[in-house]
Amino acid sequence: MKRDGDARGDAGSNPRVSGGSGLRVPSVSGQDVTLPCTYDIKTYGPLAVCWIRGDIPNSGCSKQLTASDGRQVVFGGGASSRYQLLGRLLDGDVSLTVLKVSELDAGRYGCRVEIPGWFNDEKHHIDLTVERAPETTTPSHTETASEQTHTHTAADLMSSQILQTNSSFSAEQAGGSSVFLLCVVLGMLAVLTLVAAVLVLASQQRRLSNNSEPRVLGPVASELQLQSRSLALENIYQVDEDGGRGDGGEYEVLP
């Protein structure tokens, strides 16, 4: 087993440190952290490895988190697991990566490399410390939200003013159109009234001219008139012959 007593890591990133025993790895809640563990695969070949929480027992791995046979993961480490072996197993890198650590993940972890022979297993203990993530300040978000609110309010006011302007303009147009139509109707009524009055006056004048013209008697009426005048003359002559002479009076003969 290759050992290196210096642990390297950054609480603000994903720390990668060389393998060793009794290391302390810092982390921040909500981030991923890698606990180092490697062995010399060129010397021993692929070896079985297991990770547990707490101190490693004298034999085996009780309550293991994940395990590998040196070539692939044989226990845990699935898609839903927070404990992953993301290193190159064929290079002897069996470091444990804990996804999105929390304060509850703080504590001791153990990596056991099973080397053939009696009491040859390598045991590595790593202590993980987890700090609470700093609280993010929200004034900027509040200011941004207020600015967006003011922006939306101004935009809404402008939209409402535009709508009111368009509505008033449409109302004015509608009112102007109504007045124009009313004027046209009244003008047509006035023209029709004037035409009717002219026609009535023309009809009355025509009737008056017809009544004032002299009537021309036809041939039958003239003949009847001449006959009545002749009868009147005969009557006058008869009266003159019968009674006029006895009285000795003179009568004037009407034409």
Tell me the pLDDT tens digit for each residue of 34-90: 999 999 999 999 999 999 999 999 888 888 999 999 999 999 988 889 999 999 999
Could you give the angle at the alpha carbon of 66 between the alpha carbons of 63 and 68, nearest 5°?
A: 125
Pairing outcome for strands 96-98 and 33-35: antiparallel
pTM (global) more than 0.95:
no
Render pLDDT for 148-172 as a digit per residue (tens, 0 to 9). 555 555 556 566 665 665 555 555 5
Across the range 115-120, mean pLDDT stands at 88
CB 101 within 8 A of CB 31: yes
CA distance 47 to 39: 9
Q: What is the dihedral of CA 114, 7, 29, 79, to 10 degrees?
A: -30
Does domain 23-131 match CATH 3.40.50.920? Answer: no
Q: What confidence tier does 245 reach under pLDDT thresholds 50, 70, 90? A: very low
